[in-house]
Amino acid sequence: MDGIPRRAARVLLVDGDDRVLLFRGFDPARPHHRYWFTPGGGLDGDEPYAVGAARELAEETGLRLPPEELGDPVWDEVTEYPFGGQWFRQRQEFFLVRVPSWEVDTRGFDDVERDSIDDHRWWEVAELEATAERVYPADLAPLLRRLLVGGGAAAGGAVEASC
């Protein structure tokens, strides 16, 4: 099945305790299908990935960083998924941002986010490895373990944000 093409930028927001921020969401067309995922979202037109990642980070968490401070993506993937009765094929790049701590501010959520995200929390890698809950991307725990233990990024680097 061919999906609607979409580009997205995602952020692995990691605090001083090496916990990653995830949101819990659901597809309004399938409200029983709940899952955890990283901050980020679709790009506007030809928006560069880093610009979209910085914009999404500000909208979804309140953390404002200039796009150039995000550095290079640390990982990318193509994923396919249903949402709102449509099928998408999404190319997404992930940026690693480290903060000592951060109080998440979701007042910048758009209508879709307000209607499909019901929680957020900081996760330790071991919790991700042990959970029976759905987490996207599915290989987030090993990715984080590589990034946080030795910087084994597929590409690029990470930004250290002071808050």
Query: In degrees, to the nearest 5, what angle opens at C-alpha 56 toward C-alphas 50 and 57?
Result: 90
Give every CB contact of residue 33 below 8 A, 6+ residues apart in sequence. Answer: 26, 27, 134
- Using DSSP's 3-state secondary structure scheme, residue 145 falls into helix
- Using DSSP's 3-state secondary structure scheme, residue 9 falls into strand
Alpha-carbon gap, residue 159 to 37, rounded angstroms? 20
Give every CB contact of residue 145 below 8 A, 6+ residues apart in sequence. Answer: 125
Alpha-carbon gap, residue 141 to 143, rounded angstroms? 5
Greatest distance between any 2 Cα atoms in the chain: 44
Helices (H), the chain: 49-61, 111-116, 125-130, 140-150
pLDDT at 159: 44
Sheet strands (E) in the chain: 4-14, 20-27, 30-37, 40-42, 75-83, 86-98, 117-123, 135-136, 158-160
Per-block mean pLDDT, blocks of 10 residues, the chain (163 long): 91 97 95 96 97 98 97 95 93 97 96 95 98 96 91 43 46
Q: How many residues does the chain have?
A: 163
